[in-house]
């Protein structure tokens, strides 16, 4: 059975990891939003298909960057 201090350390470690994941997720979303707005504003004349393709690429790149950070 774990002591109270061991349980507190485990809890603190879980909270630290959760906050780290939350921060990375927030950064991911902000980066995607910014890049999507740029694409939509700059490439509107190329049509919806092109914009959707670009948005898909943005998510792939941003997700890849985050995975490489781990």
Residues 6 or more apart from 61 whose CB is under 8 A from it?
A: none
Residue 16: per-residue pLDDT: 96
The residue ranges of every structural domain in the chain are 25-70
List, in sequence order, the alpha helices (H) in 4-47: 4-43
Listed as own residue / partner, the contacts of 64-70 with beta carbons closer than 8 Å and 24 or more positions apart are 66/24, 66/27, 66/28, 69/24
Residue 70: per-residue pLDDT: 52
3-state secondary structure of 47: coil
Residue 5: per-residue pLDDT: 93
Residue 64: per-residue pLDDT: 82
Residue 9: per-residue pLDDT: 96
pLDDT along the chain (70 residues), means of 10: 92 95 92 89 83 89 69
The model carries a pTM of 0.62
């Amino acid at each position: 059975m774990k002591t109270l201090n061991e349980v507190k350390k485990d809890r603190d470690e879980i909270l630290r990891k959760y906050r780290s994941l939350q921060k990375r997720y927030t950064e991911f979303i902000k980066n995607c939003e910014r890049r999507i707005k740029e694409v939509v504003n700059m490439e509107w004349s190329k049509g919806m298909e092109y914009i959707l393709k670009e948005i898909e690429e943005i998510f792939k790149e941003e997700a890849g960057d985050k995975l490489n950070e781990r």
